Amino acid sequence: MRISTHQTQQVAIDAMMDQQKKLSTVQHQVATGRRITRPSDDPVAAARVLNLRDTLSTAEQHQKNIAAARTRLTMEESVLENVTSILQRVRELTVQANNDSLTPQDRGFVAEEIRQLNDELFNLANSTDSSGEFLFSGSKTKFRPFNRSINGGFEYHGDDSQRFLLIGPERQIATGDSGSDIFRNIKDGNGEFTIYESPGNKGNAIISPGNSTGDFIDGHYAIIFSKTVYPDGSKSFSYKVTNDKGEVIIPEGTPYESGDAIIFNGVNTFIEGEPEEGDFFTVRPSENQDVFTTIDRIVSALKGTTGNSKDHSGLHNEANRALVGLDQAIGNVLEIRATLGARLNALDGQEEINESYKLQIEQSLSKVEDLDYSKAVSELNLKLTGLEASQKAFTRVQGISLFNYI
C-alpha cells in the first residue's frame, strides 16, 4: 500500500477540520444557550420543540385575548354605570314632577332636564370602544346601533348576538352585550301586565300600575265604570271587568270606592279619584319597550299638562307607568352589570390558569432545548484540546517527507 505525502497531509487537515466543526458547534450552543441549534442535532427533540412552541404561542394568544376582552368589558361597565346614574336621576325627576303642587312652568323645566338626560342616554347607547367599534351593536360592531326614526321613535340597527373570544383551550367569553338586551328588551308596566287609561276619560281617576298575584292569565281586559247621581246630589260608582271576547270577569254593578283593591285573573290594582260614566282602563300583557320611548312619554306628559285636574290625572297615570318602567330598566341594566362582573372575574381566573400553563410549557421546553452549561463547557474544553492536538500533530507531520529517508 502506497501512502503519499499529499495523502498524509490531507488526512491531517481533515482531522483538524472535523475538530474545528465540532468546536464551532459547541461554541454556538454556548453562545445561544440552546442544545439544539438545527433539526439535525436531534430530530426527535426538534419536533418536540416545535410542538411545544406552537402550544406556547397559543397560550400567549389566549392571554392577549383576555387583555382585549378585559379592556372592552371594562369600558362597557363604565358606560353602564353612567346609564344607571341617568336612569336613577330620571326616576327622581319623575317622582318630583308627579306632584300637584308644581306649576306647568315647573314641570316644563323638569321635562327639559329629562329630555337632556334622554339625549345623553341615547349617546351612551352609541358608545364606541378604543378601536372605534360600537359597544352595543351585537356582532355588527361597525354599524351605529341606535338612530332616531322619522316618526320620532328609535330604531335599532345592530343584532341580538354577542362576539366571543377564545381565552383558553376550550373556553370562550362574550366581550359585549347587544343594545337590544340592554335598552330595548324591557317589559313595560310591572313586567307581567300594564294598564292604560282611555284617552277619552273625563274623570280624575288615577290607577295604580298594579302587581301580579302570581297567576296572571294573559289577555286583554277592560275595567269599565258607571256613575249614578241621586236627587240629593249624592253619587255612587260601580264597575265591571270584561275581556276582549266580551266575557264578563267581574259583573256589572260591583261597587267602587276610591282606593279599594280590584282583583281578577292575577291582576291586583286599585284606583283613586272619581271616574265619570263610561270611563275605562285597559289591561294587557307587558310588551317590550325601549327605555328611550319610556322617557320620551314622560317628557310629553309633563309638557302637556295645564292647571286642570284632568291633565293632572293623565300625568299621574303616565308617571306611575313610567316609574315601574324605569324600575324595570334599572333592574335590567343591573343584571347586565352583574354578568359583566362575573365575566371580568372569569377573565382573572383564566389568566392565572394560562400563566401557570405557560410556565409548565416553558419548563418543558427548557428541558428539551436548553443547554447544560457545565456539560457544554467541559465539552468545549475537550474540543479545544482535541483541536490543539490535531494542529500540533499536523505541524510535526507536515515537515516529514519520504525523500528525507532516501
Return the C-alpha cell found at 59.
397560550
> Do 223 and 133 share a structural domain?
no
Return the C-alpha cell found at 373.
452549561
Last residue of a domain, one of 287, 317, 335: 287
> Do 172 and 77 share a structural domain?
yes
> Do 335 and 218 share a structural domain?
no
pTM of the model: 0.78
> Do 130 and 67 share a structural domain?
yes
pLDDT score, position 44: 66
Size of the chain in residues: 406
User: How would you class 58 by CB atoms within 10 Å of its CB: exposed for 0-12, middle for 13-18, buried for 19 or more?
Assistant: middle
pLDDT score, position 389: 61
> Is 314 part of any domain?
no
> Do 273 and 183 share a structural domain?
no
> Do 64 and 132 share a structural domain?
yes
Are the C-beta atoms of residues 267 and 216 closer than 8 Å to each other? yes
Q: What is the pLDDT of residues 225-256, one digit of tens each?
A: 999 998 888 899 999 999 999 999 999 999 99
> Do 75 and 174 share a structural domain?
yes
Last residue of a domain, one of 233, 264, 287: 287
Q: How many alpha carbons fall within 13 Å on the CB side of residue 158?
A: 30
pLDDT score, position 296: 93
pLDDT score, position 1: 47
> Do 168 and 76 share a structural domain?
yes
Number of domain units in the chain? 3
Q: What is the SS3 assignment for 274?
A: coil
Rama region for 271: left / alpha / beta (φ>0; ψ in -120 to 50; rest): beta
> Do 234 and 123 share a structural domain?
no
Which regions in the chain score pLDDT beneath 50? Answer: 1, 372
> Is 194 part of any domain?
no
Q: Give the structural domain span for 148.
A: 54-188+325-357
pLDDT score, position 383: 59
Distance between CA 219 and CA 242 in Å, rounded? 10
> Is 368 part of any domain?
no
> Is 376 part of any domain?
no
Query: In sequence order, what are the beta bridge partners of 236?
Result: 228
> Is 28 part of any domain?
yes
